[in-house]
Amino acid sequence: MANTLADIQTVLRIRPFRRLWTVLGLASFGDWLAIFATAGFAQSLFDDPAAKGAAFSATIVLRLLPSLVLGPVAGVFADRFDRRKTMAACDTARFLLIASVPTVYLVTNNTAVTVAWLAIAQLCIEGAVLIWSPAKEAAVPNLLPAEKYEAANQLSLATTYGIAPPLAFAILAILERGSAVWSNLGTWAEPMVIALYLTAAMFAILAVTVFFFIPEISGRTGRIAAKTSSVWNDFVEGWSYLRTSERVRGLILGMLGAFSGAGILIGVGTVYATTLGAGEAAFYTLAVFLFLGLGGGIAFGPKLIGELSRLRWFGMSIVLAGAGLAIDAVAPHMVFSIIGSVVIGLGAGMAFLAGITLLQRETEDEIRGRMFAFIAVSARVILMLSMTIAAPLAGWQAARQLDLGFTEVQISMSRILLFVAAALVAWLGVTAFRSMDDKPGVPVLADLWSSLRGRPLSAVDPIAGTGFFVVFEGGEGAGKSTQSVKLAAWLKLRGYEAVLTREPGATELGMRIRSLVLDPAPNTGSGDRAPGPRAEALLFAADRAQHVDKVIRPALERGAVVVSDRYIDSSIAYQGSGRALGKNEVAWVSTWATGGLKPDLTVLLDVEPTAGLHRAKAGGDGDRLEQEELEYHQKVRETFLQLAAADAHRYLVIEAGGTPDEIAAKVREAVAERLDIRTQTTRTETGWPGLDSAKNDSAKNDSAKTDAVETDAVPEDATPDSTDPAKDYGWDAVVEEAGRP
């Protein structure tokens, strides 16, 4: 998934996209030229410096205003009409409008008329942009396979924000510098007049290119031909879609959060820069680093995060931008502010790229235009609002010095606002993460770390049922089999469907694997019959994959309580640590093998290895692993204890020196407590007949519940299926245990 230059080359080899990308490049270039050429042209109409400044900002503001009026319906155009014709029509409109501005000036030679027309033209140009952009964004996915969207977006963003603006500025600079030469030719040769005609010509070329040379843009996967609903219905449909799609809502929320942070940052920027005591240029320096971070995030983000889920990446990037804002808020020195700005840029750039790509992927063709329009408009409104609120507030109240001992920090309103922005952005990032997470239950940092190394943790395969999964772990002879049987018998007697199982060897395939890995002294003949460490790890993982697929998952889906003698932790301890293959590596293989299935409770029976081995071997030689050195078993024990300490909630550690019945009582207590929690939360949704009947029984006779193991018989309908090795395992012992006086 991580993009390389090769991905970008592949994308450019797709002809319709290559043409659209060229169009996009020209359009962005034209847009930047149009913005600054019209603003520059407005300035040039006045001599007074104050009027010049006002004219410049007024033209920019005029461009933002239409989004408030036209914004809500702009996306409807993109979804309702042929996108190619919509784009060509908008380009034609931009050509005519931009060309009209210098023409009116040249024809009337009247400043008032020109200014009035300029204002009208500006409003209309922005209207055209508002309709053009969502049509373009929505068209991209129809020209490319989904896995190429990200590379295409990298290319588009780099063109729009990296190549087009400097080119536009360079053209304007050349025109200004050369004005001495061609201004003698007449008013028509004034730099900004030429710039506007040049821009207009660009849009004429675009209209022709889009209309005649990229027919694929018209090709829709949606239901354009059958559209009969009204514009109003389309508008309402866009809003309803937002309400129903949690992922798209999370995406939009996250993006708007990032824009509000950006607005506050821009609003307080200049005042904040003064608190750093780094001179006038501080603001511009920070802006440069912010944009460097932004470009870095867009260009290298996908490569950096490797295989991380894009849905997770989006939320994380926004939180990263929030962290950057927090760094800026507390930075005692310009160097820290620069670091903060780079971090903000990185986070924002990656969030922007991930956001656009995900929106293209997650939204259906017929609604996509409205979603892009919604983002474009809301982003503008939020940017304007946060800037206008933050800017005047930033200067309110003088800054105070805070002495930290090693350095002094200025506490000012601008820093407080930055902190508010940081908290807001981080909160929205977390909210977006939660509502979009495609790997619930998979630890975030471990997933990030594994993804950076090219091995993302697998998403947990969901389980439909409400079963409960208990695992016994521990070294050799710790008493796992003894306790598994006792627990299964106790559960059966309470009316649960208890499935007693083990690793390795709970399935037919597993039995074969068991003899492959455990049979002692296989080093006969060529001497390579004993599995090497990696083969051993993979054999245990293969046994586990089969075990989960054929025994554990189906049982949990039925609502049974699964009691397993060993599971993943044994691999982590014996192969990861004992064989020194790496605990994380081995855990990753097993997580993949099991689809991320974790036990609800792991009972670790901790036994000193010498004592355990003595019990387990019972005078014999033991299996291949039991024959390992004592040091090996010490490492195994330590690893089990470390695993338990790292997740205390999921583990019950019992010192295995007590009598079997004492240990069994502790296990029962822990299981009963957890099963009660489970039933309280899930019973009304799904029911759990076994448990319900047990509960009813216990309501009738509470004392019978505690004495059940001693007095009840194993229910008849719980007879195991003799063709299934998992059910055969230990069954006789369970029956015997249940009938024990």
Ligand X SMILES: Nc1ncnc2c1ncn2[C@@H]1O[C@H](COP(=O)(O)OP(=O)(O)OP(=O)(O)O)[C@@H](O)[C@H]1O
Ligand Y SMILES: Cc1cn([C@H]2C[C@H](O)[C@@H](COP(=O)(O)O)O2)c(=O)[nH]c1=O
Judged by the rule CB under 6 A, the positions of this chain that interact with ligand X are 474, 476-482, 615-616, 618, 656, 658-660, 663
Scanning 138-146, 387-395, 565-573, 682-690 for contacts with ligand Y by CB under 6 A, the matching segment is 565-573
Shortest spacing between CB 605 and ligand X, in angstroms: 7
User: Are 490 and 740 within 8 A, CB to CB?
Assistant: no
Radius of gyration of the chain (CA): 34
Shortest spacing between CB 452 and ligand X, in angstroms: 37
| Amino acid letter, 120 | I
- Could you tell me how many residues make up the chain? 741
Scanning 30-38, 226-234, 269-277, 623-631 for contacts with ligand Y by CB under 6 A, the matching segment is 623-631
Shortest spacing between CB 322 and ligand Y, in angstroms: 41
What is d(CA 636, CA 574) in angstroms, rounded to the nearest whole number? 6
* The residue to which tokens 């708007």 are assigned: 256
Nearer to ligand Y, 433 or 640 (CB): 640
Cis peptide before 440 (omega within 30 of 0): no
Shortest spacing between CB 517 and ligand X, in angstroms: 14
Scanning 69-77, 330-338, 401-409, 500-508 for contacts with ligand Y by CB under 6 A, the matching segment is 500-508
| Amino acid letter, 82 | D
Nearer to ligand X, 310 or 480 (CB): 480
Three-class secondary structure of residue 343 per DSSP: helix
Nearer to ligand X, 371 or 604 (CB): 604
Nearer to ligand X, 175 or 643 (CB): 643
Scanning 185-193, 237-245, 293-301, 502-510 for contacts with ligand Y by CB under 6 A, the matching segment is 502-510
Which position among 313, 490, 540, 588 is part of the footprint of ligand Y (CB under 6 A)? Answer: 540
Shortest spacing between CB 479 and ligand X, in angstroms: 3
Give the one entry of ligand X, ligand Y, none that residue 33 binds, where binding means its C-beta sits below a cut-off of 5 to 8 angstroms depending on kind: none
Q: How many CA atoms lie within 13 A of 150 on its CB side?
A: 28
480 assigned ligand-binding residue:
yes
Shortest spacing between CB 502 and ligand Y, in angstroms: 6
Shortest spacing between CB 728 and ligand X, in angstroms: 17
Scanning 257-265, 496-504, 647-655, 693-701 for contacts with ligand Y by CB under 6 A, the matching segment is 496-504
List the one residue out of 330, 331, 324, 329 whose CA is nearest residue 346: 324
What is d(CA 66, CA 85) in angstroms, rounded to the nearest whole number? 22
Nearer to ligand Y, 33 or 589 (CB): 589
Shortest spacing between CB 240 and ligand Y, in angstroms: 50
Q: What's the 3-state SS for 138-201?
A: HHHHHCCCHHHHHHHHHHHHHHHHHHHHHHHHHHHHHHHHCHHHHHHHCHHHCHHHHHHHHHHH
Give the one entry of ligand Y, ligand X, none that residue 540 binds, where binding means its C-beta sits below a cut-off of 5 to 8 angstroms depending on kind: ligand Y
* The residue to which tokens 């991580």 are assigned: 2
Nearer to ligand Y, 451 or 571 (CB): 571
441 assigned ligand-binding residue:
no
The reply on whether position 141 binds ligand Y by CB under 6 A is no
What is d(CA 732, CA 737) in angstroms, rounded to the nearest whole number? 8
Which position among 92, 570, 594, 602 is part of the footprint of ligand Y (CB under 6 A)? Answer: 570
Shortest spacing between CB 727 and ligand X, in angstroms: 18
Distance of CA 521 to the CA centre of its chain: 49
Nearer to ligand X, 610 or 711 (CB): 610
What is d(CA 682, CA 556) in angstroms, rounded to the nearest whole number? 14
* The residue to which tokens 């982003």 are assigned: 379
Concatenating the DSSP letter of every residue in 400-456 gives EEEE-SS-EEEE-HHHHHHHHHHHHHHHHHHHHHHHH-SSTTS-HHHHHHHHHTT-P
Nearer to ligand X, 156 or 564 (CB): 564
Shortest spacing between CB 720 and ligand Y, in angstroms: 19
Nearer to ligand X, 480 or 514 (CB): 480
- CB atoms closer than 10 angstroms to residue 437: 18
475 assigned ligand-binding residue:
yes
Give all strands (DSSP E) within 467-507, no chain letters. 468-474, 498-502
Site map 510..529 versus ligand Y, x via CB under 6 A: --------x-----------
Alpha helices in 494-608 (DSSP H): 508-518, 533-547, 553-558, 568-571, 583-594
Which position among 625, 671, 675, 714 is part of the footprint of ligand Y (CB under 6 A)? Answer: 625
Which position among 626, 708, 729, 734 is part of the footprint of ligand Y (CB under 6 A)? Answer: 626
The reply on whether position 588 binds ligand Y by CB under 6 A is no
List the one residue out of 147, 154, 152 whose CA is nearest residue 1: 147
Give the one entry of ligand Y, ligand X, none that residue 625 binds, where binding means its C-beta sits below a cut-off of 5 to 8 angstroms depending on kind: ligand Y
What is d(CA 332, CA 337) in angstroms, rounded to the nearest whole number? 8
Q: Which residue is nearest to ligand Y (CB)?
A: 574
Site map 357..376 versus ligand Y, x via CB under 6 A: --------------------
400-403 and 408-411 strand pairing: antiparallel
| Amino acid letter, 492 | K
Which position among 365, 473, 503, 712 is part of the footprint of ligand Y (CB under 6 A)? Answer: 503
Which position among 29, 132, 289, 574 is part of the footprint of ligand Y (CB under 6 A)? Answer: 574
Nearer to ligand Y, 234 or 536 (CB): 536
The reply on whether position 504 binds ligand Y by CB under 6 A is yes
The reply on whether position 656 binds ligand Y by CB under 6 A is no
Give the one entry of ligand Y, ligand X, none that residue 574 binds, where binding means its C-beta sits below a cut-off of 5 to 8 angstroms depending on kind: ligand Y
Shortest spacing between CB 504 and ligand X, in angstroms: 11
Give the one entry of ligand X, ligand Y, none that residue 477 binds, where binding means its C-beta sits below a cut-off of 5 to 8 angstroms depending on kind: ligand X
Joined tokens for residue 171? 């053209």
What is d(CA 591, CA 571) in angstroms, rounded to the nearest whole number? 11
- CB atoms closer than 10 angstroms to residue 238: 20
Three-class secondary structure of residue 561 per DSSP: strand
474 assigned ligand-binding residue:
yes
Scanning 1-9, 332-340, 361-369, 566-574 for contacts with ligand Y by CB under 6 A, the matching segment is 566-574
Give the one entry of ligand X, ligand Y, none that residue 570 binds, where binding means its C-beta sits below a cut-off of 5 to 8 angstroms depending on kind: ligand Y
Shortest spacing between CB 607 and ligand X, in angstroms: 8
Scanning 43-51, 160-168, 361-369, 568-576 for contacts with ligand Y by CB under 6 A, the matching segment is 568-576
Give the one entry of ligand X, ligand Y, none that residue 503 binds, where binding means its C-beta sits below a cut-off of 5 to 8 angstroms depending on kind: ligand Y
The reply on whether position 473 binds ligand Y by CB under 6 A is no
- List 498's β-bridge partners, or say none: 561
Q: What's the 3-state SS for 514-539?
A: HHHHHCCCCCCCCCCCCCCHHHHHHH
The reply on whether position 571 binds ligand Y by CB under 6 A is yes
Shortest spacing between CB 241 and ligand Y, in angstroms: 47
| 508 to 307, 311, 561, 718: CA distances (angstroms) | 35, 39, 21, 21
Shortest spacing between CB 505 and ligand X, in angstroms: 11
What is d(CA 3, CA 271) in angstroms, rounded to the nearest whole number? 39
Q: With CB under 6 A, what is the number of residues at the site for ligand Y?
A: 14
User: Are 23 and 209 within 8 A, CB to CB?
Assistant: yes
User: Rounded to 5 degrees, what angle do the CA atoms 485, 486, 491 make?
Assistant: 100
| Amino acid letter, 288 | V
User: Rounded to 5 degrees, what angle do the CA atoms 4, 7, 10 make?
Assistant: 150
What is d(CA 353, CA 355) in angstroms, rounded to the nearest whole number? 5
The reply on whether position 594 binds ligand Y by CB under 6 A is no
Joined tokens for residue 705? 């519940």
Buried b (16+ CB within 10 A) or exposed e, 458-467: bbbeeeebbb
Where does this chain bind ligand Y (CB under 6 A)?
Answer: 476, 502-504, 518, 540, 566, 570-571, 574-575, 623, 625-626
Q: Which residues carry a binding-site annotation for ATP? A: 474-481
Q: Which residues carry a binding-site annotation? A: 474-481
